[in-house]
Structure 1
Amino acid sequence: MIPGLMISAPASGTGKTTVMLGVLRALRDAGLAVQPFKSGPDYIDPAFHRAASGREAYNLDSWAMGGDLMDAIAGQAAQADIVLAEGSMGLFDGVAKPGASGHGASAELAQRMGWPVVLVVDVSGQAQSAAAVALGFARYWPDLPFAGVILNRVASPRHERLVRLGMEAAGLPVLGALPRRGDLVLPERHLGLVQAVEHPDLERAISGYATFLRDHVDLDALVQCARAGRNYGTAPLPKPPAQRIALARDAAFSFTYPHLLEGWRRAGAEVIPFSPLADEAPDRDADLVWLPGGYPELHAGRLAAATRFREALCAHARTRPVHGECGGYMALGEALIDKEGVRHQMAGLLGLVTSYAQRKMHLGYRRAELRLPMPGFAAGAGLRGHEFHYSTILAQPDAPLAQVRDAQGDIVPETGSCKGHVSGTFFHLIAEDQGDG
């Protein structure tokens, strides 16, 4: 069994991603093979984890995934020396109603896998009181393994002494104390962090985080806190929707969960990447063209001008399936209106028209029951996924693909659609639904 830790925090914005990247690189530099995981439906952080660790990072999600699938994905750590998982939001934050195996909280994952929690605590604006916050997190679930805390945004040596006094009184180990530094911030945009491939100098940034963590965190003590509490399973990963899959892959189309691609390849499928932004055509012998989500709204002009890509895509769709998720779905539509109100012609394979000039946030887990088949799944199949975008539907004239509900069980209007061999969803597929519990 491989020992692991969960890097989490009381809330979003406390610096856990910076800590995660710095520790990943510092341990890698020390000669350890470190396997990263991300709790929850995040498409961006795993690419940063991969850059820092040199290993593919995988999502683990107790709302969207059954226990067997989570165990199978965790098995990707088989050849690692240590596991580091990064939490999402606050440690105990999840949805109200349980899903496939839980509520989606990072604490559920840490408890299931037996990974002790390292809590990153933003201590700005408080001193000994920070210990009360940390103690509440350490005791909220008495059987949750808890390793200790890393103090972040420490203002001065005096401030650090006072915070440490509080932690000592509460019996909480302090594994490190990070001075406040304004440059330790990853750039962001409306969906969160910019993508790893777009970072202006990612390698220098990660190396800087590693140096900072080595200087201010007891990495040896951190590693000693890691524990292995569970044998990972051997259940199969999700099966491929086709044998030869042409996968759009560039700055506009990059949001595909790594466990899906790993499952496709492991089952013998051939995944053939191509770039719509470079006006590349999908492989002419592909059985399926798959357009993931991403940021097509930032590249709508280039996509509209990519005639070679569009013509080849339309030719493929006359006889073989094409599927798009979120941004990929929008690119399959008739038009995309950018935030300045400029209308850009898309592939026209579906009648969908979306607008970023009329912004509305769509965020949350999705549970879908297919009304029509889509690649890899028959009509009637249940799917679990996640939706996050700011576009508004102006037209969606084609047949609805699915009935879609949120985590509460309420129906949402983003049904996806289907026309001929072409289908699309606003949610990003995570797993086939195996029922609640």
Structure 2
Amino acid sequence: MTACAIEPPSTSGADGVPEAGCVITADGSYAARLAPAGDCWFPERWTLDGPEPYAVPLPGNQPEEPGTGVQPMGDGRVLIHRPSASRHLFSLLYPTGPGTGELPLGAVECPEPGTRLVLLPPAPGGARAYALASGPRSSAVWLVAGGAFGPERLAEVPGRCSGGVWLDGTGRLLALDRELGGRTKTVVVDLERAVVSPLLQIADDSDDRLLLADPDSGLLLISSDAPSPGQERLGWGVLGSTLPVRFPECLRLPDCVVTPFAIQPGQVLTPENCAVGLRVDGAFGTWVGVWRPAERRVRHLPAPEGWLAGTGVWTPEGVLRLPYATRSTPCGVSTLTAARGSAGAKEPNGKAGATEADGNAGATEPGRTAVPAPTRPAAPTRSRPPAPLETRTPAPPVPQAPVPSVTRVAGPVPARPVPLQQAPLGRLVTN
């Protein structure tokens, strides 16, 4: 994911993005990470869909390098990516009694200098895994697990690509941020047809990136410098909508890196209702933010101790599940859930915390377009970590606006994604 900040602090991730502590499958059933063991590292699989989370260590014959990539598969196995110079080795790990079984999948060669190969986010379904090889002049998408004959090159994209967001529930449409001609724009790769088409182009001279997408609602989280040249800002849009991209002022946090990491699923045709989990890195450390497009504020929540920062998953009911690991609890999941606009939200330690009511959702500023605010289900609401917040009285109910129509392509899998409407700078909404 791409981070947006005015003055981002130093990070250990690529391109200034904070590194995630682990990787979670698209359905939230499994997670995988490199776990420390003294001065060494070994893969570890977490099972998250049972009554209690538990970890299964998967040590190999020798410790892993810190740059080794891991990704959980839908069947509980763990894909491991071991880079070695220009050669990248892939295997599937699985527990075998007291030991670890390993199924070699093959290797990908990247002989061109300056080429970087990384695992893409887990694909829907969990049966396949993909990698992106980004070179100076072109990039390639590889199927590295789930194929019939080892790694398979699926598509080539002119330009240097980064990111990676799945737009559908079948693992066919992949959005990539392509740098070409000095500008970065998001394109979509149809992996079945090997066709590349534009998706996000807000302005001719802007850098536009797609950070997250929810296939159920069509909600897109976007990073762009279109409203503030030279400064990236977080915005949101809806796939197939005719409304322009919006850049809320509440998502501008000075001297902080704000990284969206999870969107609430299951909110079909109501993207304004989707809760978005934000990782916030600032002078006070790292904490969690929760925001909805229909609101004009971010709720700042203390992260659980040992949070594997930047990772988490929403349930359709509006519960944010955050994996964490401490000395006393090497495998744990903290849940953040609270009724909106009510006091008594549960902190990670089970204590009641203060909440804020949304007193201005649906309000309209002069000369600006209001964000529709349909009836919303309960969702997490908690306190700001740096300083306690006062509880405010909920505002009177605001008349609800109709939900905007969303254009969909007939059929189970669209042949071409519906692009966002181009939004000139004069139409950018920054409420």
TM-score, normalised with respect to structure 2: 0.27
Q: Relative CO higher for 1 or 2, CA cutoff 8 Å, sep ≥ 6?
A: 1
Q: Which of 1 and 2 has greater Rg?
A: 1
Higher strand share: 2
